Amino acid sequence: MTPQEAAQWMVDELAKRKVLDQESAAWQLTRQDKTLTYQNDNGNLAINKPVLAAFNKLTKGDDVVWSRSERQWRFRKKYDRPGRMQD
């Protein structure tokens, strides 16, 4: 699975579930291809940068936000601040 294919899978999952949990996505991706993920400094499974870059390109615009506190991508709500990163 290429980073672009992985990113498209993430977009499809987000559309289907309305939220995409980072940890769950990382585990699903590593089952498909271990090169799509890595172990971060905290020892957690994380999604590789090329996959995230491709995902960001596919979700340009204001529709998708990253909820830092929930560690998930989701669709923008009325109360969200401008920008992708939310608390």
Q: Tens digit of pLDDT for each residue in 5-22?
A: 999 999 999 999 999 999
The 10s digit of each residue's pLDDT in 21-77 is: 999 999 999 999 999 999 999 999 999 999 999 999 999 888 999 999 999 999 999
Question: Which domains does the chain possess?
Answer: 3-80 (1.10.10)
Cα separation, 31 vs 63, whole angstroms = 28
Question: pTM of the predicted model, to two decimals?
Answer: 0.91
Q: Measure the CA dihedral 40/46/50/53, to 10°.
A: -110
